[in-house]
Amino acid sequence: MSTSAPLRLVLASQSPARRKLLQAAGIEPDVLVSGVDESQVVSDRAEELCLELARLKAQAVLGRLRSVPDERTLVLGCDSVLAFDGEILGKPADAADATRRWRRMRGRSGVLHTGHCLIDVVPGARAEEVASTTVHFADISDEEIVAYVATGEPLAVAGAFTIDGLGGAFLTGIEGDPGTVVGLSLPLLRRLLGELGLSVVDLWTKVAPGGQEIEHLG
């Protein structure tokens, strides 16, 4: 079910990877960093932890927004954690921590969980869910670990790896949606929009990736 009012999506995340993923899918979000202190949430269940953090991020940004006449605004909060060997791993504390993690993870598998919380600003309606994808790590060498950690990339991401950057070379495969590993599942976003009576096509911009004109279907 489409909406007649223009839709605005506010991404409550500073992650350039999440924004790039949306842009590649024809969605141009506004970005407003939540500023949530992630250490305030403690849980021994990865799914609960990432969903609660996603919810807090969305709610923090929601409280800073003002409604715009004749415009429908949505806020999307996301958070990712890696469940590995009985532990919940967010961003590594430092290079030494990232190195230790990779020495444990290589040749093994973990599950990347990404919580999504989508809030429709004016009515306050909310749809939320966790997407989970199994990640298989390559049995990389000590030298490759040192080189990868030295780039700084693993220090900025949950689980100390990426699928869409340098770390993609160190994965042997995944089971599930690759977007979940990037930090935002597009199929899940589509389902959450549906729960709010909206369609993903309502968020498509006039120009698709590559610059070609597309017909706005919303």
Please give the positions annotated as active site.
79
Specify the amino acid at residue 86: G
Instruction: Write down the H helix ranges in 136-185.
Output: 142-151, 178-182
57 phi-psi bin (left φ>0, alpha ψ -120 to 50, beta other): alpha
- Asked whether 217 and 201 are in contact (CB, 8 A), the reply is yes
**CA 138, CA 63: separation in Å to the nearest integer?**
43
**CA 61, CA 12: separation in Å to the nearest integer?**
6
